[in-house]
Structure formats: structure tokens, C-alpha cells
Amino acid sequence: MLVLDQPDKGANILSRGMLDEFERHLDSLASDVGLAGLIVASGKPGTFIAGADLREFVASFGTPSETVESLSRRGRTLFARLAQVPFVTVAAIDGICVGGGAELAVWCDRRIVTANDKTQFGFPEVKIGLIPGWGGTARAPRICGLGNAVEMICGGEPLSAAETVRRGLAIGPVAPDRLLAAAIDEVRESVRTGSFLRDRESWSRPIAYSEQELAFLGATAAAEIQGQTRGQYPAPSVALEQLIESAALDVEQACIKESEGISRVFGTPVNRALVNVFFLTDRNKKDRGVERSDVPASPIERVGVLGAGLMGSGIAGANLRSGLSVAMSDANGTALEKGIRAALEDASFDRRVKGVHAAKLLEIAPRLRWTDGPASMGPCDLVVEAVVENIHVKRQVLERIESALPDGAFLASNTSTIPISRLAESLRDPERFCGIHFFNPVRRMKLVEVIRGARTSDTTVATAVAYAKRLGKMPIVVGDGPGFLVNRLLFPYMSESLELLAEGVPIQTIERAATSFGMPMGPIELYDMVGLDTAIYAGLTMFDAFPTRIRPSPILPALVKAGRLGQKNGKGFFAYGDGSSKKAARPRPDAQSQSIVDRYAKAGPPLDATAVQRRLFLPMLLEATRVLAEGLVRDVRDVDLGLIFGIGFPAFRGGLLFWADQVGLPTVLEWLKPLAEHGERLLPTPKLIEMAEQNRPFYPKASE
């Protein structure tokens, strides 16, 4: 039994050092003629192997393709020995087994998985712009079938233990305390029957697929990949090509082709960007939100949510889904009834059936109660205010909540733009108050901004960060100010789209430029999703704070006056139907809204997609440099994490600041020169000029 347990790591990672040690053990075992089997297991509960060491990968960026192929060949040749030694090899998997760990496992003769909720098996390499490089694309399809392998490897999503067994990749699931016994039984049974030798022979041959079957699978999978990636993520297509073209080869030739395939994606701009995103998220998992390690985070078990609208019900649903007890309140009885129903549906939603899971609903419902006001919410560890985005209303509500809070409880506002310090002015204990800004829709959006007011304590911040992580979110701590981080950077982008409309640039030109850059939707459709009336209120806050950079547009008020509020009532810049469906229809061009836009548009010079993209994203970048200069964020990486997971900034660009580094800051200055006529919002900031002159990037290294 070979137990993997890196003493200095929370999870086993396949570093060069671990591979060297693994090789030494195989060398010592290879000559043991009396050995019946080798069981490879982990000494870390909940984790088998969490993949390869990405920091070592980053160190190899920029190496020649021959070197990349050699690195791939080294790992694959080592793991292939597990299918060549004169004894049975079994991977005993309890917990996460992904990436290089899954490749080690598929080279074993057998894999056994536990019925542990943490057990996962998969090949997520495409999510960092790579393909499996240690034999995964060659070995997996010969074990579980080509169709299953295409779905796993090109999609990158891990399988549960039960699904891993169903796909034919493993035996089990077994109880964790039965794992070793089950592995020993499998060794003895495989030796008795000789089945492992027959499987080795079978899995070394080409896959039995006709040309027509391969063509059909390739075409349908390619169409699915194109629909998912819009051609902006090349790794899934390279993986598919590898799987389809290698099916007719023996496993050794398929492995050689795999090494050639990984050299095509390794170190590309997309690979570098996605690895940067991995490091952003990895850092966030470890960040407590405060610099001092001795600051405690108070446990949160009972949460009050005041406001049962779209955001309030979403926040309540997230809490219920994470096992917390929730008290909901709203001044409007009809809104409260609707919000309760939405929270329960949200918390019990099952993606597999695309609807409410009845058993889950019965388990969750007793943890939700509703009240007629803050005073009757009962004992709560934390209350989150989520009422209308109006400073006067919020202040009144927060004062009422605070007076009803038990000693030691925390108070938070879900405001998206109003400074926390201004909301705290009338509170008795502002140290226990902060912003906890969820993003819409709460169920899907992982980002949460934890906003520190002028008097917010470290304990409050640490508690809010730990609470957000309990909900499965990615919290970033930001300083106080209008729009905080994400909305402050988003508004210049959205505001510029209105400026472009006023200059006569067609709506579809603006939308296509944004989506071709990689945004999930264009800024005009985003206005409709946010709500045009909501955007006006939020815009006033931003204009009051930054009047020289945020220009009020007459277009939004004119659309609202015409009764066009966006997706919420089925008509904004685009038409969506009658607004009654929970899921908005696809946006359609609308003659009435276009006629309103045309009233305020002046004919200007035509702009191509590149020019429009620069107009949209450079104001956002300039605002980010102001944010950094003001110290609004604790780390440059929080800017990119916030934009990727808060507004959908394209991950394949690595983040706004990472993208600027790849472009080069001197180049950014050149792009800005012809735009100076548009005023301060497009003038280089002192920080940008200084960094460009010193040739100093935002990121010293992609991995830092």
C-alpha cells in the first residue's frame, strides 16, 4: 500500500518532488515477484489527489514545444508503469481525484471510490486552458467509452462517486471505512480471474468506432463546444480533436498525439489567463478578509433578511440552502408572501430535475419563518437589510433593526452603491455594521462584496467573510465609497455605452463589440436586466460622487417616462414579451425604443468593433487605477476577481488588470491619445502614466 500524504500541504498535489518519490517506489517494487497487488491511497481524508502543481506549470511558460512534450511524456511514462508492472494496481479514492490525480488513477488496473459527498472524479484541465497531458485522453475513453470521455474531458466538470461508477470508471461506491478492505478484495479477485491482464490488453488497442460514428460524435460535440465557448476557449476543441483522432490508434500512439496536443495550448494567452483566474480563486479561499490572524470570526447560524424582493428572497434562499435558519420580513404583505415562496423554491431547486426537490423542500421549510417587522424577527446572529436602494429608507429601516437586535448580533446592508459610513451615521454601534453586497441573481453569482465602513471592526469583517464563504460565495473586502468596487468600475463601462448611442453608434454594434470581447451580454442588454429605473437611481449616486466622469444621459429618463423599465416589464431598450415570465425572453430590437434613442443621437464617424471595445473598457481600466491609488482594495487581485465573478468579465482574458498587462501599459497610453477629446473619463490617470513610464505591470507575475 502506497499512501500519498504531503505533510506541508492541505491536499496532495503532484509536484515534481512527489513524482520523483513515486518513481522511486515503483522502481523498488518492480522486482518484487511475490507481490500480488499495489494499492495507491491518500493519507488526507477528503482528498486523493487535487491535480498537478500549477506553480510549476507557470514556471515552464515560454519553453519550446519540444520541452512541453517532454514534460508531458515524463509524467505519462511514469503513470503508464502502473499498467505494466507484474501485479494488480488499484487506486483507492476517497475524496477529490481530479486532473493529474485522475490520470494516475486511470492508469491503474482498478479504481474504487467511496460514498463520500466529497468524492469527485474528473479532468478539469480545459478550465485552465489545457488538456490532460499524462495519458488521460488516451486511457479514459478506452475504459469508459469514447462518448463518456468526450463529455468529461471537453466539459471539464467532475463526476460524483455514483456517476463515476455508472460511467464504468470505478467500482463502488463503498463506505469510507470499507475502502481498504474493498481494494484488497479487488486485488485478490483480479489475480484469481486474471481479468486485469485481459483489460490491459483491451485498453491498449484502438477503440471500436466506425468512421460514421466518429464523424457524428465529433460534429455534435463540436457544435456543443462552440455554443458553450463561442470559440473563445480553444482547449475543449483541441481535446475533442485529440479524442476523435486518437480513437483509431493504439494507446501508445494516442499518448504521443496527446503530448503534441498539449503543446498547442500550453502557455497560450488563454492558458495563462485561466491559470491566473485559478490563482485568484485559490487565494480567495484562504483569505480571511483581515490582516491579523488573531481576529475571530463569530459563528452565524440564524439570519434575518429584511426585504422580500428579488434580492431579499435570493439572499434568504442562499442561507436556507446552506443550512442556516432564516427569518424574513417585509412591510408589504403581498411581497413577503411572494418572497417566501421564491426563497423556498430557490433553496430546494434541483438542477437534475430542473425544479423543486420535494424532500429537500420538506427539510428546508421548518428553518424559514416570517414576521411583520424587525422588532418581531426574534434572536438573530446577523440581519441583512435588502430594501429599496434609497438612503433615507435604508437609514430608517437600519435604525429599527438595530434597536431590536440582541447583544452581540451583527447588522449588514445589501446596498449596491450607497456608502456604508453614511448609512451608519445614525447607528448606535457602527462597529458591528458593514456592507454585504450580493449580486443578482444570488443563486448563480458567486461574488459578494464585504464593505468596511469607517468604523467597522475587524471582527465584523472577518465574520462577514466567513459567513459569505459558508454560503459558497467568494467574498472580497473593499473600502467604502459610492459603488464600492464592482459597480464603481461597471458604471464607466455602461455610461460609455450611452455616450456611444448618443454619437449615433447602433445598439447592435455596441452589443456585438462587448460580446465579441467576451462579456456575457452587451451593456445595453445589461441596462435592461438591471432595470432602467434602478439604473437611474444608482447613476445619480455615482454622478454625485464623480460628476466629471459620469455623464447623465437623457436617454434613460426618456425610456422610463415611456414606461420602458427593462426586463421587469418586458420592454426597455429591447422587447422581451410581457415581462410575466420568470425567465426573460431573448431580447428583440424594438422600434419604439429606437425612436427614443434617435431623438438624442447625433451622427458621428463610424466606429469598428475594436474602437467600440476601447471606448467601453478603457474607462473601466482608468477607474480601476483610481481605485488602486485610493487603496479601496487590499490587493490588486481583488479587482480582477471582483469583475470576473461580479459582472462576467471574460475569464479567458484573466481579469481587467491582467488583460492590461498582456496588452502592455505603454500600448494602453497610445490607445488613449486619440480619445482625449472626450474629457476626463478617457484621460490617463497619474498612476497609469507612472506605471507605463516605469514599465511596471499590475501583476509582477501571473502566479502572484
Catalytic residues: 437
Distance in angstroms (rounded) separating the CA atoms of residues 256 and 258: 5
Q: For residue 659, list its beta bridge partners.
A: none
Q: For residue 121, list its beta bridge partners.
A: 97, 159
Distance in angstroms (rounded) separating the CA atoms of residues 660 and 689: 13
Name the burial class of residue 591, with classes exposed (0-12), middle (13-18) and buried (19+) by CB atoms within 10 angstroms of its CB.
exposed
Amino acid in the structure at residue 484: F
Distance in angstroms (rounded) separating the CA atoms of residues 121 and 129: 19
Closest CA to 466 of 421, 434, 422: 434
Question: Which one-letter DSSP state was computed for residue 579?
Answer: S
Distance in angstroms (rounded) separating the CA atoms of residues 341 and 362: 13
Q: What angle do CA 417, 419, 423 make, to 5 degrees?
A: 115
Assess contact for 483 and 545: CB atoms under 8 A: yes
Closest CA to 79 of 95, 99, 59: 99
Helices 665-672 + 609-630 axis angle, to 10: 120
Distance in angstroms (rounded) separating the CA atoms of residues 339 and 317: 10
Question: Length of the chain in residues, anyone?
Answer: 704
Assess contact for 477 and 452: CB atoms under 8 A: yes
Amino acid in the structure at residue 341: R
Amino acid in the structure at residue 643: L
Give φ, ψ of 467 to 5 degrees. Answer: -65, -45
Inter-CA distances, 125 with 68, 71, 131, 170, Å: 15, 16, 5, 20
Closest CA to 225 of 214, 213, 241, 236: 236
Which strands sit side by side in the sheet containing 47-49, from one edge to the other? Answer: 47-49, 96-98, 120-122, 159-160
Cβ atoms within 10 Å of 44's Cβ, excluding its own: 20
Task: Specify the pairing of strand 349-350 against strand 355-356.
Answer: antiparallel
Q: Helix, strand, or coil here: 600?
A: helix
